Chains A and B, each alone.
Chain A
Amino acid sequence: MQAGSKMTENKPKSNWVIEINENLCKGCEICIEFCPFTIFGKSDKLNRKGYYLPVVLIENKCNGCRLCELLCPEIAIVLTEE
């Protein structure tokens, strides 16, 4: 129990940065639907090919589960830990 609490104390709260490659995204909205914290939203911004891009609404809620990154059929989502 003590060891566990120590671990959580020592572990710094990591900040995850979500970036979306606009050239690759095809606007399938899988990331918007399946994020457990509904971090993504649909934007009005069109990319070069005419797809509506997703946008990161609440970034600091991300816990880095990587579900969006792996579900993305276009490999357009990039998750980096800071």
Chain B
Amino acid sequence: MSQPRNQMMNYIREEIMPHRFCPGCGCGTVLNVFTNAIDNLKLDPVKMVCVSGIGCSAWIPSPYFKSDTLHTTHGRPIAFATGVKVMRPDLKVVVIAGDGDVSGIGGNHLIHAARRNIDLSVFMVNNMIYGMTGGQVAPTTPTGVKTSTTPHLNIEPPFQVAELVAAAGASYVARWTTYHVFRLIKAMEEAITKQGFSFIEIVSQCPDNYGRRIGLRTGVEFLKMFKKQAIPIDKARELPEEKLEGRIIVGKLRDRERPEYTSELHRVTKEQVDKIKAEQEKIS
């Protein structure tokens, strides 16, 4: 019996569907939303490069998204993507990776890419744990959660990655959850078209490896929690800090214009080459 086919399957390697994510996993929603954003922008996937690292979230572009993909070593997707962008500034380079990849192991690459303001779109899927390897503590795990490497309690405060990247100098920074799908599509469109480093933290659910440790065993319970805990950034600014404990601040954190790295680099290189040529002509 032939099954109905979603139009977004045009952007997905259909022969390997259904994907390997757990039932109710947020990574599938991110894949869905990402294909919708690409469809709205009418971008040709052939003119895109998707870079990912290691982890569940790194599986979103590679192997499922039908563009050129680079599946790189753990924590290094932004380093690889920087290389791609410098050599081929005409391509749209998108990094989709997990919180362990981008903020944990590759944390330095993230802040330096933001400081350089290189034209990359980084979508960090934050499921608050190292899910693929069995639920080890991540830099984004909230305080007081029992994980397999913190069996008593996690005593470390979590990283506020979106605020960190905004402070490091990125052009566009936003945070949404997998519940806010329409806002997320719009944010992804803005991030991809923005010149400069654009970063979206997507707070996502992991029902299997994180949810069972905090008592949220299904994707539905997670999405209800996101709906309840999310607070728009305009409202959050008016509230005192103690009232924001445990809330997820969503919205556009930063949208500004700054000189972009690759265009500046090519401009400086061209100037130097012209200078040397002029000097050589003078000598001869």
Contacts and interface: CB of A to CB of B under 8 A. Distances in A.
B29 A28 contact: no
Contact of B181 (A23, A29, A67): A67
Interface in A18-55: 19-24, 26-30, 33-34, 51
B185 A73 contact: no
A57 B199 CA distance: 40
B220 interface: yes
Interface residues of A, number: 25
A28 B4 contact: no
B4 A19 contact: yes
Contacts of A20: 4
A68 to B, nearest CB: 10
Contact of A70 (B18, B25, B36): B36
Main secondary structure of the interface of A (DSSP, over half): loop
Contacts of A51: 23
B31 interface: yes
Interface string B23-35: 1111111011101
Interface in B211-228: 218-220, 223-224
A75 B28 contact: yes
B31 A70 contact: no
Contacts of B224: 33
B4 A72 contact: no
B32 A21 contact: no
B3 A22 contact: yes
Contacts of B28: 72-75
Nearest to B181: A70
B6 interface: yes
Interface in B66-122: none
A71 interface: yes
Interface of A: 19-24, 26-30, 33-34, 51, 67, 69-78
Q: What are the nearest 3 A-B pairs in CB distance? A: A73-B28, A28-B24, A19-B4
Interface of B: 3-6, 8-9, 12, 17-19, 21, 23-29, 31-33, 35-36, 178-179, 181-182, 185, 218-220, 223-224
11 contacts: A19-B4, A24-B17, A27-B23, A70-B32, A70-B181, A72-B28, A73-B24, A73-B26, A73-B219, A74-B19, A75-B12
